[in-house]
Structure 1
Amino acid sequence: MGLVLGDAWLWAAVEWSPPAVAEFYIGGGFDTPTVVALLVAALVKAALLWLILRAPAPGPLDRRAKALRRLLYLAVAYALVLRYPIALLPDAVDAAFQLALWTAIDVLYLLVIRWRSRMLRAAAGAVFAVELAAMADVLLDELDLPELGSGYIVELALMLGGVAATLITLVGQRRDGRWSRGTQTAGWLSVGVYALVFPLDVFGRMSGGDMTVPVMMDALGYVGTVWIAATARELPAEGRPADLPPARRRVIRVAVTAVAVLPIIALIHPEATPHLTYTGWSMDCYDRPSFGDLKPAERDAAFLCRARSTEGGVPPMFPDSLSDQEILAYGRALCRAKDRDEQRALLTRAGSASARSADQWDLVYVCPEIVGAAHPELLWSTTEAEAANAAYIAEKNAKCRDPWPRTKGVVQATANYFLFVDGDPGYLVHDPEDEAADEAAEQAMGKVYDDSTRVGVTDSAVLIGHVADVADVCLTVKAFRTPPPQRTAGWDQVNEVPIVSRSGQLTVPEMGEGGEVGAGAPMPNLAIAGKGRYRLRVYVRVDDAEEEQHLVVVFPGASRKRLKLKPRPVAGRALSFNSPSSGGRRAVARGAGGRSQAELWS
């Protein structure tokens, strides 16, 4: 009927899912290999379903064995039917149901199966615990709670818990003696099917939209259900099924051998096939380790990650058609290229879809002796980079001096404020706990260019712009209980504006760990009188060496006026309101990345 009514109904007949699901896969209709695969899968699934639905073996059962049989048949019903309506519920419901079901089954396995060894029973309990921990981990993930797994070793152990549980259950069945060779063979075949998942999944990815492999994987997946049903069927101790005839046993041995050998064959590629250690979607490639943190044997893999990365939606440096060895050879050739034009020519020859040249922080993994000679900081470990960054910040802070050393504030601090090297309008004085802090910061940034003072004001945020072409400014902040003297002499600009603290805090953003923007030292809370209105006075000057210095004074005050106490710059000095184009001297010490001030506020 599926062949007569069309592809959607053929899909529904074989895959046991609604015809609407098939529309996602059909497109212009199934090709001949997919139709053939569906017909073969239909026969395979029909045969497996026949084995699943065989009547239970007669014989007495105690209370525990009856409970185990019912739960095993419930697991079979879930695999065949129940998973479809349960899929309509939240994923956490499905995860909780499976955890409860298999917890009960595993406990009854320990009690019902005659293990004939305390050590084997204890080992089975440990393996079942790992399997259940993996299910619990899935449930915690669905509930957005902290997961059990941390690290690849734990994740791998949890992933293999189900396989180990199947294996040790098969050992127990063999020692028990109740279950026939056919049932045990189905169990071993289910393990073989699990082993086939990875190579067949890789093959399916390489074959693009071909549906042959997914259809066959779905059909073979019911072998495990056959084993569960057979385990439930043969629970009675009396009336043990007779062994299979020798001819059928030989056929089963051949099938088991084929399932065991096929995964190995699938993993072996011809010499001409590219060997892919890492691809752009490998989880390991999301991290970018420092060169100094890697062992020599790990550096090639790190470069392969970068070479195949599609981070940011850009094409990878090299296509997947190249093997790892070819990419490493091209990488070393890129290191020896005379200029970027020669690098682009090499990438074009390699079939790269990216027109960009190679970056030094990528090439350092394959030719550290070449890149390190020009950029020794790229050879640093994370510890060395952090030490260099801390030393650089301390050096910049040490160059900044308090312009009012004899006028002590209730709280005060002096530090270098690092601006984003690709263009920041300035720095922020704000109430970070205000519910509308983000909105206030955006509004202040929009107002910073309203007049020549370069001070953008909203209720709880003030954005103070820099006036020279600088990458950072020396910043001193002081808080007073009463207005201090104005003392405008020696300053290019002095402005006074209102600001509100709704939470009892006013401060300047500090540079976070690994950040590029913010104050190089902790900044105090300038709202010393708690919640309320304050006045904020800003002093700005640029010395002969084009170094910019700011003094921010905060004190309680209800006035909402903006005052220009010294509105014009010093005569003859040309002031710029742009960020530097050569601020990369700081990026060398603290990494090539960075975020703008607006991103930092968000």
Structure 2
Amino acid sequence: MLPDSFWRIIRVGLVGLVLAAAAAGLVLGDAWLWVAVEWSPPAYTEFYARGGFDTSTVVALLGAALVKAVLLWMILRTPAPGPLDRRAKALRRLLYLAVAYTLVLWYPIALLPDAVDAAFQLALWTAVDALYLLVIRWRSRMLRAAAGAMFAVELAGMADELLDELDLPELGSGGIVELGLILGGVAATIITVVGQRRDGRWSRGTQAAGWLSVGVYALVIPLNFFFGRVSSGNLAMVVMMDAVWLVSTVWIAATARELPAEGRPADLPPARRRVIRVAVAAVAVLPIIALIHPEQTPHLTYTGWSMDCYDRPSFGDLKPAERDAEFLCRARSTEGGVPPMFPDSLSDQQILAHGRALCRTEGRDGQKAILTRAGSARPAWGADPWDLVYVCPEIVGATHPELLRSTAETEAANAAYLAEENAKCRDPWPRTKGVVQATAKYFLFVDGDPGYLVHDPKDGAADEAAEQAMEKVYDDSTLIGVAGSAVLIGHVEDVVDLCLAVKAFRAAPPLRTAGWDQVNEVPIVSRSGRLTVPEMGEDGEVGAGAPMPNLAIAGKGRYRLRVYVRVDDAGEEQHLVVVFPGASRKRLKLKP
């Protein structure tokens, strides 16, 4: 064992270095202050505070430096003298390894893959928990069995984290399972402190450190999800909690220090006990006090990275109290790599006020002026009504009532609209029934769409065939592009939708070109036994407004595709697509 004088030199040197480095950080800048207090590389500063530290963060860092110096002084106390058996020696070495990991080793291990860190933690604490069961004198079989069960739950949580890092199936999914595993770790700490009390070797100070570490867990677990929302805007809280976490390291170091059975330390004097009680109260109260911000401090409920902002609920699906939060999500969103509407430096209240001002402003120029004053990175974009409806439904709803609907109402309205539009399209050959047939409105892109596909969606080269057909659609006046299993049929008028009827026959039907402006026939092949027209997808913008049948009624093989096109007096365009088996590869212009 190292001599007491050596331990004393280490204690004085390291604690003095922490305090001196923190003082130097005030002069040398934020990066130095961060390294001195947080014991992590200066690159981490950019992650937490890209614009530099504010006054509250600097004060928190100086306070954390003092707290860490005191706790480090307690961690580096000289190990108690006395004989140790083989198991106790192994436990002491492993506990000091855990202390070294928390203070120093975490950084070089963090440079390795995350799975290595998780595996190291699991191996270390598996050995420590096994030795706890063997070294601590529990004086009760039931208590030892309970300790074994809690240690197993604690290790299960570490194993679950390792499985997650290895992208393997985890032990359980969902917040309930995760919370249960975390509580199991807390219970393992509690029962270990109880075992230390029954054993008799550990002083009241060590036991108090154990209960303090339980208090830290009790503080962090309920605030964990809240931390995920405020940490980006509340760096002082992150610094404070990082310092408080060292209490657990104090307990681990004290446990290792007092392992010898002989020379049990004397109980703490009354003054020291009062100091410990004050420390327990501080751990419980100070972080909660730190959550109370002055009114001028930005309050950030949601940021661009918040998990709660990934869903995009409709206005009608939200309760009135939830609508402001949805606007905050959208206002700070960076989805798609675009800059947010408002910067994170603005509080929730400021963003909501700017949002309501945008509602009352007419024209993009007025919106641009408001966004510029707010420090927006994209003021020229203005604000869209589907975002503003959450803060001023009475204004937006007057001109866009559809934005007030719920998801169910929107789906019902879309279905009613499609049914109404489909009803406007009639079968042009009502007396000639195909083996399969359908009539519906086909919706094109508003900004211009070359036409619609008849294709084999199961063909392995379906996308390539569709691209080739699109390239060929303007090769001649028929506006029909042919490429193997895909035929792109263009529209002759500048329309955004057209009436489309499709029919499949077992043999070529009569031409019946009367009443049609154009009639053309082209080859098409089905490699999978399917030929169909794309239906309108979930985006509700492009495709047929009703289910389209499989036109390859004879299975795999070659077919002929005849296209009838006409435009009525009202400018409405109507198409009839007829498909039947045929081996010919000729293109026929049947009319005009």
Give the TM-score range, shorter chain.
Answer: 0.7 to 0.9
- Which residue in the other structure is 1:582 paired with? none
User: In the aligned structure 2, how far is the partner of 1:384 from the partner of 1:320?
Assistant: 34
* Aligned pair partner of 1:551 in 547, 551, 576: 576
Indicate the residue corresponding to 1:280 in structure 2.
Answer: 304
Assess if the C-alpha contact under 8 Å between 1:110 and 1:125 holds in 2: no
1:381 and 2:441 correspond: no
* Residue 204 (structure 2) aligned to one of 181, 204, 217: 181
In the TM superposition, what whole-angstrom CA distance separates every residue of 1:504-544 from its partner, at most 9, and x where no partner exists?
22222222335422222222222233333332222222222
Q: How far off its partner does 1:68 sit?
A: 7.4
The alignment status of 1:50 with 2:76, answered yes or no, reads yes
Query: Using the alignment, how far apart are the partners of 1:460 and 1:115 within structure 2?
Result: 80
**How many equivalent residue pairs?**
557
Q: Of 307, 321, 324, which residue of structure 1 is paired with 2:331?
A: 307
Report the 3-state secondary structure (helix = DSSP H, G, I; strand = E; otherwise coil) of the residue aligned with 2:471: helix
* CA spacing shift, 1:336–1:220, aligned 2, 3 Å: closer
Report if aligned partners of 1:48, 1:223 keep a CA contact under 8 Å in 2: no
Alpha-carbon shift at residue 334 of structure 1 (Å): 3.0
2:416 to 376, 391, 415: 391
Query: 1:119 Cα shift?
Result: 10
What whole-Å deviation, never above 9, does each CA across 1:536-584 have from its counterpart, x for those lacking one? Answer: 2222222222222222222333333322223x5xxxxxxxxxxxxxxxx
Match of 1:577 in 2: none
Q: Specify whether residues 128 and 533 from structure 1 end up closer, same or farther in structure 2 by C-alpha distance, changes over 3 A only.
A: same
Residue 296 of structure 2 aligns to a residue in which SS? coil
1:143 pairs, out of 149, 167, 171, with 167
- Secondary structure of the structure 2 residue equivalent to 1:488: coil
Q: Shift of the alpha carbon at 1:21?
A: 10
* 1:485-510 alpha-carbon deviations (Å, 9 max, x no partner): 33322222222222232222222222
Q: Is the 8 A contact 1:98 1:135 kept in 2?
A: no
1:414 is matched with 439
Q: CA deviation at 1:270?
A: 1.4
Deviations 1:358-403 (A, max 9, x none): 3222222222233223322222111111111122222222222222
The RMSD of aligned alpha carbons is 4.9
Are the equivalent residues in 1 in contact too, given 2:458–2:530 (CA < 8 A)?
A: yes
From the superposition, tell whether residues 68 and 468 of structure 1 become closer, same or farther in structure 2 (CA, over 3 Å).
farther
Deviation at 1:110, TM superposition (A): 7.8
Q: Give the alignment of 1:193-342 within 5 angstroms.
A: 195=219, 205-206=232-233, 221=245, 223-231=247-255, 240-342=264-366
Change (3 A) 1:374 1:24: closer
Larger mean Cα displacement after TM superposition, 228-237 or 463-472: 228-237
Q: SS at the partner of 1:503?
A: coil
Quote the offset at 1:404 in angstroms: 2.4
Whether 2:550 is the aligned partner of 1:525: answer yes
Going from structure 1 to structure 2, the CA distance change for 1:99 and 1:444 (only over 3 Å counts) comes to farther
Deviations 1:425-479 (A, max 9, x none): 2222222222222222223223323333222222222222222222222222222
**Cα 1:488–1:41 shift into 2, 3 Å:** farther
Shift of 1:267: 1.2
Aligned-partner SS, 2:380: coil
Q: Residue 222 of structure 1: CA displacement?
A: 5.0
TM-score by length of 2: 0.75
Structure 2 counterpart of 1:537, which letter? R
Q: Is contact 2:450-2:490 (8 Å) kept?
A: yes
Query: Residues 36 and 350 (structure 1 numbering): CA distance in 2 closer, same or farther, change over 3 Å?
Result: closer
Distance in structure 2 (CA, Å) of the matches to 1:130 and 1:412: 63
Please point out which of 428, 449, 452 is paired with 1:403. Answer: 428
- Superposed, 1:436-585 pairs within 5 Å as 436-566=461-591
CA distance in structure 2 between the partners assigned to 1:107 and 1:477 by the alignment? 73
**Distance of 1:19 and 1:502 partners within structure 2:** 60
Q: Is the 8 A contact 2:80 2:260 kept in 1?
A: no
**Conserved 8 A contact 2:520-2:590:** yes
Structure 1 contact 542–549 (Cα < 8 Å) conserved = yes
Contact 1:116 1:175 (C-alpha < 8 Å) held by counterparts: no
Which deviations, in whole Å up to 9, do the C-alpha atoms of 1:175-213 show, x marking residues without a partner? 6655433333333444566657979998874589xxx99
Q: Structure 2: where are the runs of 5+ without partners?
A: 1-12, 22-27
Aligned-partner residue type, residue 207 of structure 2? Q
In 1, the alpha carbon distance for the partners of 2:81 and 2:532 equals: 75
What secondary structure sits across from 1:355 in the alignment?
Answer: helix
After superposing the two structures, state which structure 1 stretch, 321-330 or 357-366, moved more: 321-330
* Structure 1 counterpart of 2:209, one-letter code: A
Residue 413 of structure 1 deviates from its aligned partner by: 2.4
Q: Measured at CA, do residues 267 and 557 of structure 1 come closer, stay the same or move farther in structure 2, by a change above 3 Å?
A: same
Task: Report SS of the residue matched to 1:326.
Answer: helix
* Secondary structure of the corresponding residue to residue 427 of structure 1: strand
